Amino acid sequence: MSAVLRPLQLFNLRLHHLAEQLLEPQGRYAAGFENLIVGLIVFSVASIGVEAMPQVPQWLLTVLRVAEVVVVAVFSFEYLLRIVAAPKKLAFIVSFQGVVDLLAIAPFFLIGLDARWLRALRLLRLLRLLKLQTHFLEHTVAERTRELAQKNAALLAAQAQLKAEIDLARAMQIAILPAGFPDRPGCEAAACMIPATTMGGDFYDFMELPGGEIGLVMADVSGHGVPAAFFMAVARTNLRELAPHCPDPGTCLNRTNEVLCTQNPMDLFVTVFYCMLNTHTGLLRYANAGHNPPYLRRADGSVHALDGAGGLVLGAMADSRFETHSLQLLPGDRVVLFTDGVTEAFNSTDEAYGVERLIAEVKAYDSGAASGLIDRIRNSVTRFAGDAPQSDDIALSVLTWRDS
């Protein structure tokens, strides 16, 4: 019994292998076999028109009938191969494609059928051509879908890697900003920076200077994202390097501007408010390079902007000069430094937060830690903006003088 089964099993395996090679899209001979089937369909249908022509030579009719036998034989062989290759054979036989394949060959094997109907039924082979074309399109769509899925997967992986790298860069950018104000009796300060995108161009800084002074910086680089973040790092580094060697804020901004104008291939610029606080006397000297003037809240509750709001931005013109102004802080006075991401925060109706709301929050915060006023302003801006996206980077800093 096994001697009989082994040849049958071997024949079955070879038949399946042949079906894979001829019918599967990745088969070695699939493309050529499909072209052969299409050619035979076209020939079979065209022969109907030739046979219908008057005075067709008998030898040509004989050739066409022999060719018909060959065509039907190839179609029958293909039909059997498709049944062998089908995982669910009965489902294939009763499917649309299976029925079309069967109807394309069945009339040839039906004896006694009127010859005119036989020729008419041969037109069903046009449906095979449609079926093959549909099969080809389905295969093409499947291939393109697979390629698109692979490209999408690669794109998602690249985006994930880029996001991870940018998130790391954002964390590093925030980490380089000072976490706290230098510990000095009689004064305190707090600050925060909230990027509008993954990375921001706004920044603040606290620097310990010779003679017991402390430098405070509030700056806003033009633009957003990675370019602004890089220029922010360049501007901050230059400010920190030059500040200990400059006698006053105006001189520091002059020298910083000269350096930035030589390190600015993207033609960016930065607005800067820089001040130096004498922690022994409360004398505040400052210079402004095109930045929003800070607000001073006196102990009596009055609020006004600091003088000296003029001045060009840094990085635009190398010969720009910046003046130094001075202000004597009194016990209980508070200075609020900010970028325009606060006053130009918009709500869903495109209404800006504005300076009036900021002044109201500064005025209402009578006493308490500097960090408390930071939180109050941030919460006020968040409530105002509602569901509207953050339109600009936000940086805030509050300096409180309590006298030494």
Give which of 275, 345, 341, 287 is closest to 314, Cα–Cα: 287
* Torsion over CA: 380, 217, 201, 197 (sign): negative
- Residue 136 pLDDT: 64
Number of Cβ within 10 Å of residue 372's Cβ equals 13
Distances (CA, A) of 93 to 30, 88, 99, 134: 21, 9, 6, 18
Give which of 273, 163, 271 is closest to 222, Cα–Cα: 271
CATH number of the 178-401 domain: 3.60.40.10
- Residue 330 pLDDT: 94
Residues belonging to the chain? 404
Cβ within 8 Å of residue 288, ≥6 positions away: 272, 273, 274, 306, 308, 309, 310, 311, 322, 325
Distance of CA 344 to the CA centre of its chain: 26
Q: How far apart are CA 223 and CA 140, in angstroms?
A: 45
State the architecture of 2-147 in CATH terms.
Up-down Bundle (1.20)
Tell the burial category of 231 from Cβ atoms under 10 Å away from its Cβ (0-12, 13-18, 19+). buried
Sequence ranges of the domains in the chain = 2-147, 178-401
- Residue 194 pLDDT: 86
pLDDT tens across the length of the chain (404 residues)? 455 556 777 777 777 777 777 777 677 877 787 778 777 777 777 777 777 787 778 888 788 778 878 888 888 888 888 888 887 888 878 887 777 777 777 777 765 444 444 444 445 555 555 665 666 676 678 788 888 888 888 888 888 887 776 676 666 667 678 878 888 888 999 999 888 776 778 899 999 998 889 999 999 998 777 788 888 888 999 999 999 999 999 999 999 999 999 988 788 899 999 999 999 999 999 999 999 999 999 999 999 999 876 679 999 898 899 999 999 999 999 999 999 999 999 999 999 999 999 999 999 998 889 999 999 999 999 999 999 988 888 999 999 998 75
- Which pair of structure tokens corresponds to residue 23? 């019918």
The SS3 call for residue 18 is helix
Q: How far apart are CA 205 and CA 377, in angstroms?
A: 19
